[in-house]
């Protein structure tokens, strides 16, 4: 049985109701409805908003979390900040790091290019 949860990603101002099915190990979260669209996602349909923020590989929230988790796991340092530029659904994530060498930033960028897609993330 699915329950509904209100979710607000930390990457934008959207408010989304997710259907959560704890018995579904493949797709435990699905879109129930979009309550509020932020300015960046206002022109998108509800399904496009969901894909823009939640897609497993390229979704803005999951993309930010994957890169952040990789940097923390690999080098034990937290990201300083993040921002998005461009137009949804093709916004580019910029991650600001501190305490990484240029070689480490290059390695993080290479990982992001390989695992998320070239041009989707910029590490500085």
Which residues make Cβ contacts (< 8 Å) with residue 98, sequence separation at least 6?
Answer: 77, 80
d(CA 14, CA 10): 9
Q: Is 51's pLDDT higher than 90?
A: yes
Alpha-carbon dihedral of residues 30, 57, 81, 87, nearest 10 degrees? -80
**Which residue ranges make up each domain of the chain?**
3-54, 60-123
Average pLDDT, the chain: 94
> What is 60-123's CATH topology?
GMP Synthetase; Chain A, domain 3 (3.30.300)
Tell me the torsion sign for CA atoms 63, 69, 75, 80: positive
pLDDT per position as a tens digit, 8-27: 999 999 999 999 988 887 77
pTM of the predicted model, to two decimals? 0.90
Can you tell me whether residue 47 is helix, strand or coil? helix
Task: Please report the pLDDT score of residue 70 as a whole number.
Answer: 97
Task: Please report the pLDDT score of residue 1 as a whole number.
Answer: 65
The helix (run of H) or strand (run of E) holding residue 106 is helix 102-115
pLDDT per position as a tens digit, 75-115: 999 999 999 999 999 999 999 999 999 999 999 999 999 99
């Amino acid at each position: 049985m699915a329950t509904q949860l209100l979710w607000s990603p930390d990457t934008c101002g959207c408010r989304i109701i997710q259907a959560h099915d704890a018995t579904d190990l493949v797709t435990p979260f699905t879109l129930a409805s979009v309550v509020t669209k932020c300015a960046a996602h206002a022109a998108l349909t509800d399904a496009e908003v969901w894909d823009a923020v939640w897609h497993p590989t390229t979704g803005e929230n999951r993309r930010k979390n994957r890169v952040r988790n990789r940097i923390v796991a690999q080098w034990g340092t937290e990201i300083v900040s993040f921002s998005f530029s461009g137009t949804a659904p093709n916004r580019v994530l910029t991650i600001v790091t501190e305490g990484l060498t240029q070689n480490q930033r290059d390695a993080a960028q290479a990982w992001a290019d390989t695992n998320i897609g070239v041009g989707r993330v910029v590490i500085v």
